[in-house]
Amino acid sequence: MKLPPLVLRHTEQVLKEVMQFKGPADALISRYFRGHAKLGMRERGAVAESVYRVLRNRLVYNNLAESGQGPQARRLALLSLSDIYGMDALSGLSDGEQAWLEHIQTVDRGQLPVRLRANLPDWLYNRLVKQYGEAETLQIADVLNTSAPLDLRVNTLKNRREDVVKVLQEVPVDCEMTPYAASGIRLAKKIALQNMPLFKNGGVEVQDEGSQLLAQIVGARRGELVVDFCAGAGGKTLALGAAMRNTGRLYAFEVSEKRLSNMKPRLARSGLSNVHPVKIAHEHDARIKRLARKADRVLVDSPCSGLGTLRRNPDLKWRQTEDAIAEMNGKQREILASAARLVKPGGRLVYATCSLLEYENEQVVADFLAKDERFALVPMHQVLAEAKIDLEMGDYLKLMPHRHQTDGFFAAVLERKE
């Protein structure tokens, strides 16, 4: 397949903007495409894939680019496009660029320093090595530097997973049931899901298997009062509502009006009527206090570094900072303490993040339990057995991309004593 020269040109332009790291890459790329409406879907796909490839392999590509000539963004675009599509797919190259890429193909990247091959900022690499050791950190990084599959959650109020798999296979879409999540389906490659009746009528939602498992371990049941304390755009809220079979009351608290607005069409498609979205100012909002000691289950999917989602958001590792995480850590502790007040005796509180760092995970839970003796840790292996999830864990849920093929997730289940 020969790529038109405009793909290289647009990839270079997008990289110039994205590599300033002034905002999320997906938002910047979408804005660029809106400003270049004549770009076809095939060309857009090639540009986006190439930009994300650079973000995932930034350190290695910067190192390789040092031997080239011309603008840095163009050299990075050439490296990325040639890695994805092969040199023969590129057109409009100068003789110098052709010779340089031929030279690059002779470089054994496996012999580059480990720190370089990990493609992680130094501070993050050091933290992961301290937790997991150098060998496993490189395994983690290798997987984080690939693209994530597309996972779907079947809305069990409307469909059975087996039936949805059959519908997808008839399209045909290459897919399989997820190994751990009870309602999950994994697609071999991304598709135009938004155009399918299955999606439009609320039969499925896009949701990583790890995120689906978080909703499952909450253990929400029919008729209960459940709180999704940091609801975001509502992915886990919808999963909880389905688990409750559209009964009881499910409060979705969120500080962002925009996220709540994004939840509305998803709620409409889902058919759920037991969800009550509530805009709150902060974790101490008066509307929260009205539910003190009333909730059967409370999920705190806490704001965090997001470093477990680097397969989807590779720019995040270059935009995130230690100072920002330290500031966020204080907020995590405040949110957990505030959410705990809602749990009734015998009820459960689930603290979760999409982070790989103990600083945001085990340490937060340990400090909370040391300060609040009303709660006790429920070992995760017990929770998973209750939920009939075939997954080996210790005291906590620790999903790892290189072991479980999910995003990186952490969760702890805490029970309020009677």
Which residues participate in catalysis according to the annotation?
Answer: 354
Distance, in Å, from the CA atom of 13 to the CA atom of 28, rounded to the nearest integer, reads 11
Gap between the Cα atoms of 79 and 86, Å rounded: 10
Task: With beta carbons less than 8 A apart as the criterion, state whether 200 and 227 touch.
Answer: no
Structure token pair of residue 219: 């253990």
**In this structure, what are the phi and psi dihedrals at residue 88, rounded to the nearest 5 degrees?**
-65, -20
What is the spatial distance between Cα 249 and Cα 247, in angstroms, rounded to a whole number? 7
Q: Is 412 exposed, middle or buried (0-12, 13-18, 19+ CB in 10 A)?
A: buried
Peptide bond into 71 cis (omega under 30): no
The whole-angstrom separation of Cα 289 and Cα 337 is 12
End-to-end CA, the chain: 66
Whole-angstrom CA distances from 78 to 33, 74, 86 are: 20, 6, 10
Strands 343-353 and 409-416: antiparallel
Does residue 306 come out as left (phi exceeding 0), alpha (psi in the -120 to 50 range) or beta? Answer: left
How far, CA to CA in Å, does 223 sit from each of 10, 66, 164, 246, 415? Answer: 53, 62, 27, 9, 19
